[in-house]
Structure 1
Amino acid sequence: MNARSRWIDLDGAVNVRDLGGLPTTDGGTTRRGRVLRSDNLQDLTVADIRTLVDDYELRDVIDLRSEAEVRLEGPGPLTRTPSVTVHGLSLFAEGGRYTDVAADQPAEGTDGIDIDKVLPWQTRPDNAPAQDRPISHYLGYLEDRPDSIVAALRVMTRPTGSALVHCAAGKDRTGVVCAFALDVAGVTREAVVADYAQTGDRLDAILTRLRASGTYADDLDSRPADSHMPHAYIMEKFLARVDERFGGPLEWLTSHGWDDEDTAALRGRLLGG
């Protein structure tokens, strides 16, 4: 299976793909129809839902958006599908009405959403080098919500149907959670990085969708499109930092309550028959 065949074409979402077909370090590949990844699901049509539920046996949705995003954008049509369970697992430290660490100082016009954390731009001026901005945000997800990351991977281990993980663009928060899952499953580091970067193939369509939402539009319009590109080196450097600081994704998970049974279950779902 080539990488392009992993795309799932829907009318109401543009960054949807199957994590099946990725090479593992032992020469195998991940299984199709077990874990999917996506941008936000607010615009799914009836036909889209039928595709996900009937063709991919979707049973669980892992929604990584913040409480504020869900409030502003809505929970999405899959919450009205009885056979699907939606798990709200924000990667931000929720603070009452607002989100993230700066809960008491929301960005103007965003109703408490810190857009730099939701969609961490690569070129906004900062004390750190521009290319390190998203990496620092990704590490912030680990610091702020280890409980959500562990819970998200445990949802992926459920024995029936498929699970779909998403955020707003399906790039940063989704990219981190999927990278951890794939790494634990034994996918090659090269393939983990390539899957992250593949979102760039749909970047124009992703930005068009987000610009149609008042939640994200103003901030998106203030930056050039290329500044949002998920370059491979971002994920490479992030995973290298995780290796250096924690010993790797599995070791980080273990330090937050993940155990050998969880690992076996995740590998069984992503690799087993």
Structure 2
Amino acid sequence: MTANQLVPLPNAINLRSLAGYPTADGRTIKPNKLFRSGDLSHLTHAEAEQLRDQYQVKTVIDLRSDDEVKRRPDQLADGMSYYQLPVFPFADHASFGQRLKRRFAKPEDPIAHIYKKMLTDSHALAAYRDMFDLLLSRTEDDGAILIHCTAGKDRTGVAAMMVEGALGVTEESMQADYLASNRALETKGLLQQKRLRSETHDLGSHPATNETFRIVQQLVNNSFGSWAEYFNQMIKFSSNSLITLSVNFVQ
């Protein structure tokens, strides 16, 4: 995380730009196009306007559940479009055979399980597909998109990895961006706060780790072979969709 990527709004949580992250073919993500954060419930009116005017954020995608949104609604400026696309709760449940197999297998780390489900569960995938539909529909005049959850670390972390994977961002940069949540949250002492510990599925106080990042990459590589094939099978993206996304967000 660089000074250019961290957005210095005092009441924002883990608010960062994806601008400047390099792709494998030598290009970079455009400035003032993609942002990620935790919830925006504590922004002042002036900060929300600064986010709109200085950083050109015109669209906010909220990955939180109905209950989270009700407890801490985003504070947005006039003219911002808002879309709630909840990743939780998961919809797919294990069959009897799968449950029986798990009973005799080594227990899976619960955080690893949640991350895998975010990449494969039908309800989570519907939310992420809608997110990509919004990304694909952007024009030069539409401003930037901000994607967030509660901490901006897990649901948003997976969303950012998906977007970066679709844009061809290098694995090293994807990993750096994922892990940068720790520093952004620790700077404000947020990882241990009850506010984040109450996040759905208790992900909030769990730090971003190299192991969790590796789990995502392994699932994509081992089950699909590449991010491009993951998008083909799970997001129902054509190669033309990936090209359009690149045109919208990479220079």
TM range (shorter): 0.7 to 0.9
Change (3 A) 1:48 1:241: same
The question of 1:233 aligning with 2:229 is answered no
Is 1:84–2:80 an aligned residue pair?
yes
- What are the superposed Cα offsets for residues 163-213 of structure 1, whole Å, 9 maximum, x if unpaired? 000000000000101101111111101110110001111232262695357
In 2: Cα distance, 1:28 partner to 1:242 partner? 23
Q: Distance in 2 between matches of 1:82 and 1:257?
A: 34
Give the counterpart of 2:118 among 135, 141, 144: 141
* 1:203 equivalent in alignment to 2:170: no
Specify whether residues 208 and 55 from structure 1 end up closer, same or farther in structure 2 by C-alpha distance, changes over 3 A only. Answer: same
Secondary structure of the residue aligned to 1:207 is coil
Residue of structure 2 equivalent to 1:127: 107
Q: Is the 8 A contact 1:66 1:91 kept in 2?
A: yes
2:159 to 159, 173, 177: 177
Tell me the distance in 2 between the aligned counterparts of 1:84 and 1:209: 31
Counterpart AA for 1:134: I
Instruction: After superposition, give the CA deviation of every residue in 1:58-93 in whole Å (9 maximum; x if it has no partner).
Output: 11111000122112223x222xx341111111112x
1:247 to 216, 225, 244: 225
Any conservation in 2 of the 1:35–1:156 contact (CA below 8 Å)?
no
How many residue pairs get aligned? The number is: 231
Pair 1:257-2:228 in alignment: no
Residue in 2 aligned with 1:155? 134
Instruction: Measure, in 2, the Cα distance between the counterparts of 1:163 and 1:42.
Output: 17
Seen in structure 2, the aligned counterparts of structure 1 residues 192 and 34 have a Cα distance that, compared at 3 Å, is: same
Distance 1:206 1:173 in 2: 20
Q: Is the 8 A contact 1:29 1:271 kept in 2?
A: yes
SS in 1 for 2:184: helix
Identity across aligned pairs (percent)?
27
Gap regions ≥5 residues in structure 1: 93-98, 104-125
SS in 1 for 2:83: strand
**Contact 1:40–1:169, Cα closer than 8 Å, also in 2:** yes
What is the root-mean-square deviation of aligned Cα atoms in Å? 2.7
Residue 201 and residue 250 in structure 1: after superposition, are their counterparts in 2 closer, same or farther (change >3 A)? same
* Alpha carbons 1:194, 1:232 under 8 Å: kept: no
Matched, 1:190 2:188: no
Q: Distance in 2 between matches of 1:189 and 1:213?
A: 27
The question of whether the paired residues in 2 share the 8 Å contact of 1:22 and 1:187 is answered with yes
Partner of 1:29: 28
The alignment partner of 1:4 has SS state of: coil
User: SS in structure 1 opposite 2:185?
Assistant: helix
Deviation at 1:151, TM superposition (A): 1.5
Equivalent position SS for 2:146: strand
User: How far apart, in 1, do the equivalents of 2:3 and 2:41 lie?
Assistant: 24
CA contact (8 A) 1:153 1:177 kept: no
Q: Matches of 1:229 and 1:72 in 2, distance apart?
A: 23
1:63 is matched with 62
Distance 1:210 1:163 in 2: 27
CA contact (8 A) 1:150 1:253 kept: no
3-state SS in 2 of match to 1:153: helix
**Aligned partners of 2:189 and 2:54: how far apart in 1?**
24
Cα shift at 1:34: 0.5
Equivalent residue letter for 1:50:
E
Deviation at 1:5, TM superposition (A): 2.1
CA distance in 2, matches of 1:184, 1:264: 9
